[in-house]
């Protein structure tokens, strides 16, 4: 997968405000829209601009992109801290293993087990 610098694509700085990102996106979207621009690569550039905007306009996606770079999509599944950091939507809490023992861990994965007394 080729790394794409979404900030560079939109021509904004890494600390750009949402309003600046939106303004840059609109300008580039008009410029590269296939109905307006008949250049051979206009449609590809338009898709690239849209992808950059979709990531940078969303606070969570932008944080993941800033943190993980090219692997930002994979970074959404894990927070980078291993099992202890928690898996989004998974069985682990932000407390990691500190809240219980390993039997709790395996029970959260495989379920069941006999009740504890």
- More confident: 10 or 88: 10
Mean pLDDT, residues 51-73 taken together: 88
Residue 73's pLDDT band (cuts 50, 70, 90): confident
Q: Specify the pLDDT at position 108.
A: 59
Decide if pLDDT at 20 tops 90: yes
The CATH architecture that domain 1-76 belongs to is Orthogonal Bundle (1.10)
Decide if pLDDT at 67 tops 70: yes
Q: Specify the pLDDT at position 88.
A: 45
- More confident: 117 or 21: 21
Mean pLDDT, residues 46-67 taken together: 93
Quote the CA–CA distance of 81 and 92 in Å, as a whole number: 12
Mean pLDDT of the chain: 76
pLDDT tens column, 91-111: 444 444 445 555 565 565 666
Q: Where are the domains of the chain?
A: 1-76, 81-117
Quote the CA–CA distance of 64 and 58 in Å, as a whole number: 10
Residue 18's pLDDT band (cuts 50, 70, 90): very high
Quote the CA–CA distance of 117 and 100 in Å, as a whole number: 15
Q: With beta carbons less than 8 A apart as the criterion, state whether 80 and 71 touch.
A: no
């Amino acid at each position: 997968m080729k790394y794409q610098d979404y900030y560079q694509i939109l021509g904004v700085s890494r600390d750009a405000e949402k309003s600046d990102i939106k303004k840059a996106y609109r300008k580039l979207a008009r410029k590269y829209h296939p109905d307006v621009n008949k250049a051979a690569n206009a449609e590809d550039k338009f898709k690239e601009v849209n992808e950059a905007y979709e990531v940078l306009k969303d606070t969570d996606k932008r944080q993941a992109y800033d943190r993980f770079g090219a692997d930002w999509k994979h970074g959404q599944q894990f927070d980078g801290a291993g099992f202890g950091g928690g898996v989004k939507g998974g069985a682990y809490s932000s407390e990691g293993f500190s809240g219980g023992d390993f039997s709790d861990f395996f029970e959260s994965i495989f379920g069941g087990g006999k009740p504890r007394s």
